[in-house]
Amino acid sequence: MNRQYSRTDDLVRQFDAVLRTLVPRAAQASRPSPATPEVRDEDMGDAERRHAEGLMRINHTGEVCAQALYQGQGLTAKLPEIRHQMEEAAQEEIDHLAWCEDRITELGGHTSRLNPLFYAASFGLGALAGAVGDRVSLGFVAATEEQVGRHLDAHMDALPPGDHRSRAVLRQMAIDEAHHAEQALAAGGVRFPAPVKAGMTLASRVMTRSVYKL
């Protein structure tokens, strides 16, 4: 028998999700990191390590935004199966969140201080998309994940040649994000037109430029 959650239960779960997303070291991955002990970096200079750290900080903040989007969409989704799909995708994003944070720590860096701001903005967008309708919400997921996939591909190319551990993490993330996009479209998500995607790209550039060092 499935438990019926009350409004209070939902609020507690949402608050727990916020803490797991924003509090350092609170996110716990359900899968081992692709950066296994067998994956070893080559020697990198200080500038290369700082560059790798900045790129991984961008990816970590991207996962913070993804968590917020899924949580906002799950809160306002109309159909139970859509809410369930959002929850499953959010769990994989928690893995990404933890993997990126671990890698940033290995590189001697810190996660972005702007994460709470981007979380709040993304949660609002997700809730709005879910309120408009499930097909729009799913389409937003697909468009977002496609955009994230392009960022990940670009970052894999931009990482220092010797940074094999970060590259291993991003490679698995790219596989997961492509799967999320396919699932969203298969579930009935609408394909967003090019002008909307262009606007999303411009918004993402604000995030990437601001969190590279902050």
Q: How high is the pLDDT of residue 85?
A: 66
Band the pLDDT of 38: cuts 50, 70, 90: very high
Q: How high is the pLDDT of residue 83?
A: 63
How far is Cα 9 from Cα 147, in angstroms, rounded to an integer? Answer: 33
The burial of 46, by beta-carbon neighbours within 10 Å (0-12 exposed, 13-18 middle, 19 or more buried), is given as exposed
Q: Three-state SS for 67?
A: helix
Here the tokens at position 29 are 């991955």
Comparing 16-25, 147-156, 165-174, the range with the smallest average pLDDT is: 16-25
Q: List residues forming the annotated binding site for Fe cation.
A: 63, 93, 96, 145, 177, 180
Work out the number of other CB atoms within 10 angstroms of the CB of residue 2.
5
Amino acid at 162: G
Tell me the range of 69-78, 129-138, 145-154, 157-166 where mean pLDDT is highest.
157-166
The residue assigned the tokens 């779960």 is 13
Domains of the chain, start order:
42-211 (1.20.1260.10)
Band the pLDDT of 2: cuts 50, 70, 90: very low
Q: How high is the pLDDT of residue 200?
A: 65
What's the whole-number mean pLDDT along residues 2-13? Answer: 56
- For residue 4, pLDDT over 60 is answered with no
Give the list of residues 6+ apart from residue 118 with CB closer than 8 angstroms, or none. Answer: 61, 64, 65, 68, 112, 207, 211
- For residue 146, pLDDT over 70 is answered with yes
Residues constituting the chain: 214
Q: List residues forming the annotated binding site.
A: 63, 93, 96, 145, 177, 180
- For residue 5, pLDDT over 70 is answered with no
Give the list of residues 6+ apart from residue 2 with CB closer than 8 angstroms, or none. Answer: none
Residue-wise pLDDT tens digits, 84-119: 666 666 777 788 989 999 999 999 999 998 888 888
pTM of the model: 0.81
How far is Cα 170 from Cα 155, in angstroms, rounded to an integer? Answer: 8
